[in-house]
Amino acid sequence: MARGKKHSPEQVVNLLRQIEVSVANGKTTSLACKEGGITDQTYYRWRKEYGGLQVDQARRLKELEQENAKLKRIVANLSLEKLVLKDIAEGNF
């Protein structure tokens, strides 16, 4: 895969399962990762994040992470607007 290419959560979970099966059948983790088109580092990072999740759970996790990031941006913008309005109300503009 090209560097920076995004995998869907479903693809990640399926690839992790594929690598785990290869390792269980006697291949090294490095070789199984290479055959899957990812680096060892990516495998361990994904395993830490997605390990043990089902495909639908991984999809929901990503959706919740995106929603959480959006809500954090909204809160930051509203907090900034509140500070600006407070300064204007106090005549500190």
Amino acid in position 58: A
- Print pLDDT tens along the chain (93 aa): 455 568 888 889 899 999 999 999 999 999 999 999 999 999 999 999 888 778 888 889 889 999 999 999 999 999 999 999 999 998 876
Torsion sign (Cα): 2, 48, 59, 72: negative
How many other CB atoms are found less than 10 A from the CB of residue 70?
10
